[in-house]
Amino acid sequence: MSFFPLLLLPLIFSTTTVSILLSPAEARGGGQWQLLQKNIGIVAMHMQLLHNDQVIIYDRTDFGLSNISLPNGRCRHDPDEKVVKIDCSAHSLEYDAISNTFRPLFIQTDIWCSSGSVSPNGTLIQTGGYRDGERKVRTFNPCPSCDWEEYSNALVVKRWYSTNQILPDGRQIIIGGRRQFNFEFYPKTGASAKNTYSLPFLVQTYEAEGDAENNLYPFVFLNVDGNLFIFANNRAILLDYNNNKVVKTYPAIPGGDPRSYPSTGSAVLLPLRNLQQKLVEAEVIVCGGAPKGSFQKAKKRDFVGALDTCGRIKITDPNPMWTMEKMPGGRVMSDMVLLPNGYVLLINGAASGTAGWEYGRNPVLNPLLYKPDGVIGARFQIQNPSSIPRMYHSTAILLRDGRILVAGSNPHVGYNFQKVVFPTELRLEAFSPWYLKADFNDLRPEVMFPSPQTKVMCRVNLKVVFRVKAVRKSVAVTLLAPSFNTHSFSMNQRLLVLDEVKPTSRNVAAGGYEIEVKLPSLPFLAPPGFYLLFVVHEEVPSQGVWIQLV
């Protein structure tokens, strides 16, 4: 039998064109880098895109003076501050992704290594931080003159290195943090508002490596059954947070090496499809990290090579198993960004060492494109490199136009621009995947309906009208939840491929085409809030349109 495929091969080649054998991404090249700003004044340690195309960025208040002043002679007075007691520089800003401008924001207490989610009405709710900021909640309403509002003692316990996830009812859950083996909810509504709920999984995954623990910033995803998938260190559970019950324990990731901070790998929930099916499938992929013991070794200037594997698991499976895949190289502190067309971009980070002060080496300048439904062994494609190392405290988020905003990097205790291996990085860049090349303008759809900021209900059929030179093949409509990115994890990141209920047809009146899709029926699939809607034509996405799922 073994000769049989060989006999068939020439036949296949003679009837198939090369362009079908190569994936479009391979055929189309490795993306482009663009320097957006030479100096935004702060380190972009945390980033969140809001539905007015503004990106909220912040670093920390106990860092010393940043390189951007607060407006109107405003200063932050803090007698407890170690570095500067009167600080007239900003530690947060709002970046306008459309005009490529920014304005400083005022923040009083320390927001360092914190977490957040955008609430369903579009307000960013940030939680926790360090010292005077550890039990604070801060909100940012999107408006041209808005600034942070801070609420004291708004959290029950201190939250530093926690992970947040927006829930189907619009609240957010805040999980873990340094020496916090529990979770709580925000806003604080109802009788249980003052409670924390113990989470033994965080005790089980606590593995002290010197002054760090390998289970911080756990990777959390809202599963399609309403439970939470929580990965920390090298294993995962499925948590029914309503009853505080572990409903499933996943096998440990093969190899057993840690993937959470400070062995910082990254993870995404892969695009959700076939949403009308009774049993929707959900898959998570965890990539990179640092071998066990790397943090302690890095302290002794021994920078161990990062993990070059990804583990992929169908979290909805009755008997879930990890499938391991090899990346073209090791990566630690990389970000994983879902692209509108369902690809995953791995970007930023290093090839050796770990997260933490001065512990990363060998920056990985090339992003990787991962095609989830590609052939195993041929899913990764190396992208063109940046020239800027993005080490510890760097970030990456998707913008509405399909570019990836890349910023940050500071492996030092303060701002440090001289005589260090990786100077504090204040430059802002954008990475444009291949689909933004002008060569694909003919394929690129332009969405005409829904119009921006349209409110749509769960479950309804939505007519999407778009223009494109000619529909050649596949058209898909996707919904993307923008994420809160910090420490190589994108909280709340989620991509839904909507089911087509009426195929693409001409819409003569609009001078284009229309397709009808079904919006997800359960808030488990898509919690309420703002999403970017994209029309994807042969893997080339339109610009996103903000819609609000209510």
Ligand X SMILES: *[C@@H]1O[C@H](CO)[C@@H](O)[C@H](O)[C@H]1NC(C)=O
- Residues forming the site for ligand X (CB under 6 A): 67-69, 119, 121, 123, 139, 141, 187
Q: What's the min distance (Å) between Cβ of 204 and ligand X?
A: 33
Between 238 and 426, CB nearer to ligand X: 426
Q: What's the min distance (Å) between Cβ of 123 and ligand X?
A: 4
Q: What's the min distance (Å) between Cβ of 121 and ligand X?
A: 4
The span from the CA of 42 to the CA of 111, in Å, is 13
Residue 272 is given by DSSP the state: B
Please tell me whether the peptide bond between 450 and the residue prior to it is cis, using omega within 30 degrees of 0.
yes
Between 135 and 444, CB nearer to ligand X: 135
Between 66 and 478, CB nearer to ligand X: 66
Output phi, psi for 72, to 5 deg.
Answer: 55, 35
| Strands 454-456, 545-549: pairing kind | parallel
Which helix or strand (DSSP H or E) is residue 32 part of? strand 32-37
Closest CA to 546 of 66, 1, 49: 49
Are 519 and 457 in contact, with CB atoms under 8 Å apart? yes
User: 10 Å Cβ neighbour count for 469?
Assistant: 12
Q: What's the min distance (Å) between Cβ of 388 and ligand X?
A: 17
Residue 449 burial (C-beta neighbours within 10 Å; 0-12, 13-18, 19+): middle
Between 177 and 529, CB nearer to ligand X: 529
Burial 364-385 (b: 16+ CB within 10 A, else e): bbbbbbbbeebeeeebbbebee
Q: What's the min distance (Å) between Cβ of 391 and ligand X?
A: 21
Instruction: Provide Rg for the chain, Cα atoms.
Output: 23
Q: What's the min distance (Å) between Cβ of 548 and ligand X?
A: 12
The span from the CA of 85 to the CA of 227, in Å, is 45
Closest CA to 27 of 434, 487, 467, 417: 434
Between 189 and 198, CB nearer to ligand X: 189
The span from the CA of 155 to the CA of 334, in Å, is 29
Between 69 and 108, CB nearer to ligand X: 69
Between 84 and 157, CB nearer to ligand X: 84
Q: What's the min distance (Å) between Cβ of 426 and ligand X?
A: 8
The span from the CA of 242 to the CA of 226, in Å, is 10
Q: What's the min distance (Å) between Cβ of 141 and ligand X?
A: 5
Between 117 and 504, CB nearer to ligand X: 117
